[in-house]
Amino acid sequence: MSKNENIVKFMLDNKVVEIDFEKDNISPTTTVLKYLRKTPEHKGVKEGCGEGDCGACTVVIADYDSHSKLHYKAYTSCLIFLPSIHGKQIITVEGVGSSDNMHPVQSALVETDGSQCGYCTPGFTMSMFALYKEYQKPSKDVILDALTGNLCRCTGYRPIIEAAEKSCVRNGKDHFSDNENATVETLKKIRKEIPSVKIETKKQKYFLPATVKEALELKMKYPKAIIINGGTDVALRVTKKKELLSEIIDLTGILELKYAKDEQNQMVFGSGICLEDVRVIVKNEFSALYDMLSIFGSKQVRNRATFGGSLGSASPIGDTAPVLMAYDAILVLESLQGTREIQSREFVTGYRQTQMKENELIVAVKIPKIDKSEIVKSYKISKRKDLDISTVSSGFRLKKSAKNIVEEICLVYGGMAATTSRSKQAEAFLLGKEWTRENIEKAMKLVDEDFTPISDARSGAEARKIMARNLLLKFYNDSICN
C-alpha cells in the first residue's frame, strides 16, 4: 500500500488538513457534517434534518476552475462524504469571521436583527457568504433562491433578506480575496501530490478517481460498486437508513465530466456538471428545463446534484427525467470498450433499472435544440413548491402545423408508474388531430388508461390520476397562450 492510500487532504478554512482513514479509524462514508461536529473549533455547523432540507449544516466549498479562479458554493454538509472534499477548501462559519472581526454578512445579520435562537444562523450566514462572493447587488429573486434551502422557525425571513441586500455590495471583496491565489496554489499542490484517492478499511472501499479512464477501470474491477456523481440520494442511505456501503466509486473529482458545450444543433453536458450550473446555462435555450431545475431542491442541493446522478438513479419521481425525455435527450455511456448513445426515452427499463451495463458510466447528456415553433413545458406537483419530492411531474412537447394539426406529441409523466413513462394512448389519439380543448378532454380520459399509480404518503392513486389529467389540460391552456 502506497503512502498516499487511505489519505485525503483539504483546506479547512485557512489550514491544510490531512486525514488518514485507517489510522484515525474513520469510515469513508462519514459526512462532512459529522466530521466537523467532532472537531474542537467547528461547532457552528448544526444538524437539523440530516437530509439536506433545513440548511442548518450549510458550509461553503471553494474550488478552482480551468482558469484558476476560485468559486464559492454553498452545500448541505450532511449530504457529502468526507473523501469528496479532497483537494478543495471548506469554509465554515468560524472561518468566515469572528466576534472580533466579523464578515460583512455577519455584521448585516446583527444590524438587521436577523437572529433569535441562533440555531439556524450559521447556515444562513454560509448561504449569504456564498451569495456575497458570487453576486454584486443581487435581485430579491436571486436572494430568495439562495436562501430557499435554509429554514428559520423564529425570526422570520424579512430581516435575513434585508441583511443579504445590505451586505452584498462589495463585489465579493473580503479577507478571503487577498489569499485566493495562494489558496489555488495550495489546492493544486494537494491534487498533484494525491491526484486520486483510494481508501480501504476492513469493511469498506472508497475510490475517488481523477479521470474517466481510471473510473472505468475501477468499474470493471468492482462492477457492483455504488456510483456517486453528486450523491444526494446515496448519502441518505447512510444518514437515514444506516446502511454500510461496502464499495463506492465517487466521480465528483473528475474535472473532465464537468463541462457544457454549445454546439450548432445541440447542447452537450458532462455528467458531472452540477445542476445549478446547468440551470443558469439553459435559461434561454431550454426554458422548460430551466423551470424544472428552478424548483429542483435548494441551491445547496443543486450545487451537488448532477445529470449523471439524477438519471443514473432511475427514480420514477426524479425531476429531470420527464423534461429531458420531452426534449428527446440522448445519454452517452462509456466503457473501456468505447462509447454508445441511448435515447433518454428508452434508457429506463424498470423500477431503478436501466440499459446501462455493469462496466459502463454515464459520461454526457446531449439535448437537441428544438425548432422555435415547437412547445416544450415541464410541470411539477408537490406539497411544497421548493425542496419537495414530486407527487406527479411531467414533460410535454408539441409540434403542430399551420392548420393547428398535431404533427408530433410527447407526453411524459413521473410519479405515475414504476418508471417515468409516456402516455402512449393519449399521444396516439392526439396525433393527426386538431389541437382543441375538445380533443384534449378526450385524451385526458386516455391518460387514466395508461397508468395505474399507487397510493403512498404523498398522494392517493385517484388524486394522482386527476393531477395527470389536469396537467395535460394545463399544457393545452399554456400552449394556446404561448
Give the residue-averaged pLDDT of 63-67.
92
Give the residue-averaged pLDDT of 34-53.
93
Q: Indicate whether 163 belongs to any domain.
A: yes
159 shares a domain with 187: no
**Residue 234: domain span:** 7-94+177-250
pLDDT at 3: 65
Q: How far apart are CA 45 and CA 23, in angstroms?
A: 25
Q: Which three cell numbers stand for residue 47?
A: 444538524
Q: Indicate whether 406 belongs to any domain.
A: yes
pLDDT tens digit sequence for 369-426:
999 899 999 999 999 888 889 999 999 999 999 999 999 999 999 999 999 999 999 9
Query: Looking at the predicted structure, is the pLDDT value of residue 228 above 50?
Result: yes
Query: Looking at the predicted structure, is the pLDDT value of residue 2 above 70?
Result: no
403 shares a domain with 312: yes
Instruction: Return the CATH number at 46.
Output: 3.10.20.30
Domain count, the chain: 3
Instruction: Return the CATH number at 287.
Output: 3.30.390.50
Q: How far apart are CA 443 and CA 62, in angstroms?
A: 50
Q: How far apart are CA 3 and CA 309, in angstroms?
A: 31
Instruction: Return the CATH number at 159.
Output: 1.10.150.120
Percentage of the chain beyond pLDDT 70 is: 99
Q: Of 327, 238, 248, which is closest to residue 282 (Cα–Cα)? A: 327
109 shares a domain with 216: no
Q: Which three cell numbers stand for residue 27?
A: 469510515
275 shares a domain with 186: no
Q: Which of 205, 225, 250 is the last residue of a domain?
A: 250
Q: Indicate whether 2 belongs to any domain.
A: no
pLDDT tens digit sequence for 234-265:
999 999 999 999 999 999 999 999 999 999 99
Q: pLDDT tier at 153 (50, 70, 90 boundaries)?
A: confident
263 shares a domain with 389: yes
Give the residue-averaged pLDDT of 355-372.
96
332 shares a domain with 189: no
466 shares a domain with 435: yes
pLDDT at 1: 44
Q: Which three cell numbers stand for residue 397?
A: 412537447
Average pLDDT value over all residues in the chain: 95
Q: Of 252, 232, 317, which is closest to residue 53 (Cα–Cα)? A: 232
Q: Indicate whether 428 belongs to any domain.
A: yes
pLDDT tens digit sequence for 296-339:
999 999 999 999 999 999 999 999 999 999 999 999 999 999 99
Q: Which of 115, 143, 167 is the last residue of a domain?
A: 167
User: How many Cβ atoms from other residues are within 10 Å of residue 250's Cβ?
Assistant: 27
How far does Cα 186 stand from its chain's mean position?
Answer: 27
Residues composing the chain: 482
Question: Which residue is it, cell 486525514?
Answer: 19
Query: Looking at the predicted structure, is the pLDDT value of residue 288 above 80?
Result: yes
Q: Indicate whether 172 belongs to any domain.
A: no
pLDDT tens digit sequence for 76-129:
999 999 999 999 999 999 999 988 889 999 999 999 999 989 999 999 999 999
Give the residue-averaged pLDDT of 131-155.
95
201 shares a domain with 340: no
CA-based angle 226:231:237, to the nearest 5? Answer: 70
Q: Which of 250, 275, 306 is the last residue of a domain?
A: 250
286 shares a domain with 149: no
Q: Indicate whether 85 belongs to any domain.
A: yes
pLDDT tens digit sequence for 192-218:
999 999 999 999 999 999 999 999 999
388 shares a domain with 286: yes
pLDDT at 155: 78
Q: Indicate whether 312 belongs to any domain.
A: yes
Q: Indicate whether 399 belongs to any domain.
A: yes
305 shares a domain with 195: no
273 shares a domain with 221: no
